[in-house]
């Protein structure tokens, strides 16, 4: 019995070390922004975000985390209201796992499953949490540098807040797969 246990232990250790040896650490991030000007409602809003991230990739999988820091501002101008201005700061902690299920040349389509948590901050009186799954498109420039962006035509999410609200959201289809009009988020990953 002991020789079998030793063989199983050696096989499991070999498998663990081979996965660890093929894993590649990476760092990266993205910068995003949005601007909306609606003459119908006399409102304007803008938002910017910076999203550093780090993780490990092994085979078709990647496991990592990102921290998002963002700022947004909305203004409504109306003859019935004084100018209303809302400012919001955003800090989000986001662990995730991604699986690359389709590769064509240097392009890959991935599914990212993640969790999000935003603590109570300036401009918000409650913390928020959520889970999501969304597709990503990546392009490998070389074996170390990869560009990536979200595909905004599909995704599922559930979110909630400490004030008791829970929301479900989903998207399938749409006018364009990568939105360059309202939101733009381009990121990169550098693998060591």
- Rounded Cα distance between 131 and 116, Å, is 6
How confident is the model over 152-163, as pLDDT tens digits?
A: 666 777 777 777
According to the model, what pLDDT value does residue 151 have?
72
To the question of pTM greater than 0.85 for the whole model, the response is no
The DSSP bridge partners found for residue 94 are 66
According to the model, what pLDDT value does residue 47 have?
85
How confident is the model over 48-65, as pLDDT tens digits?
A: 888 899 999 888 999 999
How confident is the model over 32-44, as pLDDT tens digits?
A: 877 888 777 778 8
Mean pLDDT of the chain: 78
Which pair of tokens denotes residue 58?
A: 């092994």
CATH architecture of 25-30+50-67+91-191: Beta Barrel (2.40)
Q: What is the CA radius of gyration of the chain?
A: 21
Start-end of H helices in the chain: 2-22
- Rounded Cα distance between 17 and 47, Å, is 44
């Amino acid at each position: 019995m002991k020789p079998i246990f030793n063989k199983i232990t050696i096989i499991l250790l070999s498998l663990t070390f081979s996965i660890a040896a093929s894993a590649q650490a990476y760092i990266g991030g993205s910068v995003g922004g949005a601007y909306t000007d609606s003459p119908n409602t006399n409102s304007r809003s803008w938002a910017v975000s910076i999203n550093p991230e780090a993780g490990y990739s092994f085979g078709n999988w990647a496991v990592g985390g990102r921290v998002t820091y963002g700022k947004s501002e909305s203004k409504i101008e109306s003859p019935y209201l004084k100018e209303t201005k809302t400012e919001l700061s955003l800090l989000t902690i986001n662990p995730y796992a991604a699986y690359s299920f389709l590769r064509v040349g240097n392009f890959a389509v991935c599914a990212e499953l993640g969790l999000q948590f935003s603590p109570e901050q300036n401009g918000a009186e409650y913390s928020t949490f959520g889970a999501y799954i969304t597709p990503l498109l990546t392009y490998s420039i070389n074996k170390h540098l990869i560009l990536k962006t979200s595909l905004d035509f599909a995704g599922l999410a559930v979110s909630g807040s400490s004030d008791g609200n829970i929301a479900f959201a989903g998207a399938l289809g749409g006018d364009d797969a990568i939105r360059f009009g309202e939101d733009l988020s381009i990121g990169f990953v550098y693998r060591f």
